[in-house]
Structure 1
């Protein structure tokens, strides 16, 4: 039976490849018909997940999708996207336009370049996945452990949601600058990181995975938090301001052919990707969709069916779809003050910076770490203790500690709280080894 199923699946794959080669996708990029945006039209043979492929390619190019119209009934997929660059201008960079045509057009059907969204093969670094209970100082402790183990963090993304934290980090060996391959050393890294993640003493578990597989980081973070069931809120107190809560509804049409999902929320970067990925990963197919994000708020409407062809079947399933979409929206919400650090990369940089943030009693709600050409660009979203606004004096303390020329503070004026006149500057130099998790350092060995 298993052999027959594999044979049937392989035949379906070969038929799909043949059909796509006989009916290659067509991409039209139009910078004339719309006053404020570049219009991208994609026509292609339909297959499950194709919408996610297209949206991910546009999103990974840091393009903003302001409007979209999607239709994929039958065997054909037709999309129209209105996109701009991050400055709100039309996309005119010929290198970007060429990449879009190559990635979504006829060349994507060649056997040598079959699209595999989210997979980038590389042996330049080792990928580490972390999942556990969120707490103040967690990123600082993880970074310090990796630095002590002679690991350089070249890329990392950290999300927190509903008391949980997930991270995907790419590290290299301090000495060789390449991936870490020694099994014993990898085992020690995993064990020590698990000890740090378990330091919160929460009921729910923690995990640390070291792998050579490199997947699309943001997709993997969604998958990790979804598998951890972060969408199950203890209560609704997450939304102190009910206005900040996404409005998600799921209703079945009267003929019961489709379920209609509508989403209204504050617009932000990569919102469409997060929604489409969640629906796709939950095994739903988007047949029609309309997206409008030209103002401060986004309105999205999806006509969906389960991959087995059925609409949403029960109230329990409807409730789960709503919960999962709300979680997908909230995971990437950038709460807190935005700090941008740009500096020459070195081993221990992230550890030093996050230590300073922790010692100033700030918590990191989200972080992005990138390294390119010897330069490190780190972005942190930080908040004060118990959700309080960050004092301006605290930011000045951090600035003085890491240098005025490399730290930029971005955010609205109301996100900074003026410090009381008699409030002393809070900066503690001696707190690094007082953290309870560093008792685990006795296990660390030197690898030279």
Structure 2
């Protein structure tokens, strides 16, 4: 006689009802090719994003996910792999996930973008001054920002910049060049802010319409996500999303385009590899949800980008299903406004579609990735980006950091004129870098490069001469 079946989850029913308020289970047995992360918790707005942030911060790939958060309870399942495509076997990593997700319920909800009155500030925990910049992009703008900070005797400890649809967002951590300490003098902070604002507002366009001027937003501002998480990559990337959203990069280029534009609402985007992005919104009248479906090429951090955007637009995700395979991803979200309403107008649906398209595309940067590692010193980033600009290359994305005495700069560059970057010219850098270690990766979609421009002088020689000149000046 067979025994009746009992759902194993019933064994923990009392614990789930009475506490603890969050349970995290790491399962390495159920699936052969991935680790299953299960989260049960009392729900709150923004909890899904906080959980995804923890997994994203560890460079884990989320191949599938199932989310449900009705009746005040959050239940989520993630299928994850490490950055090498393997199951999670490091017990320290597993413990970190359990602790990191388990403590999200104790931190203040970061669902809403925080607003601060102080525009440049000193986060005492990290000892840096944080600056935010956003506005209309133009070729060479990141180089001009780097030069302005060097002129103002600021050392760039870390910086991250995104460029999309003629908009730029940048978050930089700086210190005083002479003392390597945070800058907290109000007068000097005001000068830095004023100078950077002038750089951002400058434009090469002969004229601008009133509408464009209204859309442009320039600001330098400090932000703080919490003392324990200050400076983590996911928090910086979330802030970049928010800054891009604030300057409406989802509206497309504001003038003559120097970057690829976002596709029209609900349409398909194709390139030589058949790339395709489709965002659609349907109504579920029976349950009062709006159903957002996304079909696009898969890539790392995709779920973080879409969940981040919906959360910061003040939508609640009640249910979701995420899957990926064959290089593509499909995401489906059941959402409502914070006040419980579904999306009611076509204009609102169009705006959500455009914002999600922008969130998917703004991280994707096709071009040449140049990684430079050199002894850190004041003005190094300014010199590197200036030489790139003088040779017809513009930085469209940047991740700059210092590791001990070394500066590690990962720059995505494109030809200012819109042509393909001459890879023979870029490769010449590697042969003549001298003290600078250079790695180059072409991330264009298999397009052929232009014929070599033999008349150009060596960028490697230029950078090397910059370092030699600096060393000679400091030796005097």
Shorter chain as normaliser: what TM range? 0.7 to 0.9
Give the conservation status (yes or no) of the 8 Å contact 2:38–2:77.
yes
Q: Map Cα deviations across residues 89-131 of structure 1 (whole Å, 9 max, x no partner).
A: 11222222111111222x5556xx6676899862410111111
| 2:164 counterpart of 1:161 | yes
> Which residue in 2 is equivalent to 1:143?
146
**C-alpha deviation, 1:421, in angstroms:** 5.9
Q: Give the distance between the partners of 2:320 and 2:308, measured in 1 at CA.
A: 14
| 2:261 counterpart of 1:238 | yes
Where do 5+ consecutive residues of structure 2 fail to align? Answer: 1-15, 115-122, 464-476
Where do 5+ consecutive residues of structure 1 fail to align? Answer: 1-18, 433-448
> Which residue in 1 is equivalent to 2:419?
388
| 2:33 counterpart of 1:36 | yes
> Which residue in 2 is equivalent to 1:93?
90
Give the conservation status (yes or no) of the 8 Å contact 2:290–2:342.
yes
Residue from 175, 186, 192 that aligns with 1:183:
186
> Which residue in 1 is equivalent to 2:241?
222
Residue from 172, 175, 181 that aligns with 1:172:
175
| 2:148 counterpart of 1:129 | no
Q: Which 10-residue stretch deviates more, 178-187 or 406-415?
A: 406-415
Q: Give the distance between the partners of 1:304 and 1:146, measured in 2 at CA.
A: 43
| 2:309 counterpart of 1:298 | no
TM, length-normalised to structure 1: 0.83
Q: Give the distance between the partners of 2:17 and 2:458, measured in 1 at CA.
A: 61
Q: Secondary structure at the match of 1:59?
A: helix
Q: Which 10-residue stretch deviates more, 96-105 or 39-48?
A: 96-105
Q: Map Cα deviations across residues 167-226 of structure 1 (whole Å, 9 max, x no partner).
A: 010001112222101112111111111121122155434524153746621111111111
Residue from 358, 365, 368 that aligns with 1:327:
358
> Which residue in 2 is equivalent to 1:54?
51
Aligned counterparts, 1:324-403, within 5 A: 324-400=355-431, 402-403=433-434
Give the conservation status (yes or no) of the 8 Å contact 1:284–1:305.
yes
- Over the aligned positions, Cα root-mean-square deviation in angstroms equals 3.0
| 2:224 counterpart of 1:209 | no
> Which residue in 1 is equivalent to 2:71?
74
Q: Give the distance between the partners of 2:124 and 2:53, measured in 1 at CA.
A: 17
Q: Secondary structure at the match of 1:200?
A: coil
**C-alpha deviation, 1:357, in angstroms:** 1.5
Q: Give the distance between the partners of 1:349 and 1:315, measured in 2 at CA.
A: 49
> Which residue in 2 is equivalent to 1:7?
none
Instruction: Considering fraction of residues, name the structure with more helix.
Output: 1
**C-alpha deviation, 1:428, in angstroms:** 7.5
Q: Give the distance between the partners of 1:306 and 1:167, measured in 2 at CA.
A: 29
| Distance change (3 Å), C-alpha of 1:115 and 1:22 | farther
**C-alpha deviation, 1:82, in angstroms:** 1.0
**C-alpha deviation, 1:414, in angstroms:** 6.1
Q: Map Cα deviations across residues 381-436 of structure 1 (whole Å, 9 max, x no partner).
A: 1112333211123203433564486111123586574553674125589999xxxx
TM, length-normalised to structure 2: 0.79
Q: Give the distance between the partners of 1:88 and 1:431, measured in 2 at CA.
A: 40
Residue from 265, 283, 286 that aligns with 2:314:
283
Q: Map Cα deviations across residues 310-362 of structure 1 (whole Å, 9 max, x no partner).
A: 11101111111101111111111122121122223222121121112212211
Q: Give the distance between the partners of 1:259 and 1:208, measured in 2 at CA.
A: 34
Q: Give the distance between the partners of 1:21 and 1:169, measured in 2 at CA.
A: 44
**C-alpha deviation, 1:132, in angstroms:** 2.0
Give the conservation status (yes or no) of the 8 Å contact 1:337–1:415.
no
